[in-house]
Amino acid sequence: MAARKPLIAGNWKMFGRAADLGEIAALNRAVGRASGTIDVLICPPAVYIPAAVAQAQGTSVLIGAEDCSPIAVDAARTGEVSAAMLADVGAKYVINGHSERRQNHKESDDLVRQKAEAAIASGLIPIVCVGETQAERAAGKVAEVVSSQVRASSPTQGGAFVVAYEPVWAIGGNSTPTLAEIGEVHALIRETLTGQFGASASEVRILYGGSVGPKNAGEIFTVPGVDGALVGRASLKASDFSAIILGHPAAA
Ligand code: 13P
């Protein structure tokens, strides 16, 4: 099997303005050659995607989206944006099933899977997010929760996809699981994917997300089975995000 190319993705969430898109060009300058060995991705709010794609033109920074409709064809769906539209304006990836959408918009595993399948059908690579809450971890249910999310949210029709392990309690704070805990969950996700998809599961990249910053990224990237990161706050500024990327062993 060829080694999986690391992916370091920034999720801007509902932050940023048009004026902040200059961070994309700054990021490209800061990461230099590293973007040849690492896929570098920025997912801004949907309205900024076309301008972000223009900013990234001629650089190796990829642009993605934070969500998409589960409906792959044009339809009467007021307020929704289809994966085909995202691909049309130059997005390459889309985040599906982020815990903020699972919690605030009551997205089910089944809906997340439909979104990921619509993404693949439209030529995008979905990043399917999974992760336990603090209460589920305290109850010793990490393996049960995460493996069932992976099984029920992963796209089933073939085509490249990515899984992001984002413990809900680690997002937007200062605490992360220990490196050993991250390694255990990544191994569990790999095992679950292999059970579901066989040998092709070895091609799926598994990212860690939740309070990744310039200070802890380097050690997280040394954990076996971690193929990169999904970064929130620290992806908004090119200075922080490039420090994370340059801290990856593949950047050397
Ligand atoms: P933070 O990096 O801000 O903790 O957010 C993580 C996240 O939710 C990325 O999708």
pLDDT digits (tens, 9 = 90+) for 190-223: 999 999 999 999 999 999 999 999 999 999 999 9
Say yes or no to pLDDT of 245 above 70.
yes
Predicted pLDDT of residue 32: 85
**Closest CA relative to residue 169, chosen from 188, 204, 151, 145:** 145
Cα(16) to ligand 1 centroid in Å equals 15
Does ligand 1 come within 6 angstroms of the Cβ of 211? yes
Measured from the CA of 100, which atom of ligand 1 is nearest?
A: 8
Nearest CA to ligand 1 atom 7: 232
DSSP state of 203: G
Give pLDDT tens digits for 167-177: 999 999 889 99
Does ligand 1 come within 6 angstroms of the Cβ of 209? yes
Does ligand 1 come within 6 angstroms of the Cβ of 212? yes
Does ligand 1 come within 6 angstroms of the Cβ of 213? no
Lookup: tokens for 123 = 């030529």
Interacting residues of 20 by C-beta distance below 8 A, sequence separation 6+: 236
Cα(209) to ligand 1 centroid in Å equals 6
The confidence band for 252, taking pLDDT boundaries of 50, 70 and 90, is confident
The confidence band for 1, taking pLDDT boundaries of 50, 70 and 90, is low
Predicted pLDDT of residue 34: 80
pTM for the structure as a whole: 0.98
Q: Is 205 helix (H, G, I), strand (E, B) or coil?
A: strand
Rounded percentage of the chain residues whose pLDDT exceeds 70: 99
- Residues with a catalytic annotation lie at 98, 166
Domains of the chain, earliest start first: 7-251 (3.20.20.70)
DSSP state of 232: S
Measured from the CA of 98, which atom of ligand 1 is nearest?
A: 10
Cα(39) to ligand 1 centroid in Å equals 18
Nearest CA to ligand 1 atom 2: 232
- Nearest 5 degrees, angle CA 62-CA 24-CA 129? 50
Measured from the CA of 171, which atom of ligand 1 is nearest?
A: 4
Give pLDDT tens digits for 26-55: 999 999 888 789 999 999 999 999 999 999
**Closest CA relative to residue 45, chosen from 103, 86, 97, 87:** 86
Does ligand 1 come within 6 angstroms of the Cβ of 183? no
Predicted pLDDT of residue 173: 87
Does ligand 1 come within 6 angstroms of the Cβ of 6? no
Give pLDDT tens digits for 68-104: 999 999 999 999 999 999 999 999 999 999 999 999 9
Does ligand 1 come within 6 angstroms of the Cβ of 210? yes
pLDDT mean over 8-23: 97
Residue 81 region, left (φ>0) first, then alpha (ψ -120 to 50), else beta? beta
pLDDT mean over 16-20: 97
Neighbours of 58 (CB within 10 A): 9
Name the residue of 12, 102, 171, 241 to mutate for ligand 1: max ligand atoms within 8 A of Cβ: 171
Query: CB of 113 within 8 A of CB of 151?
Result: no
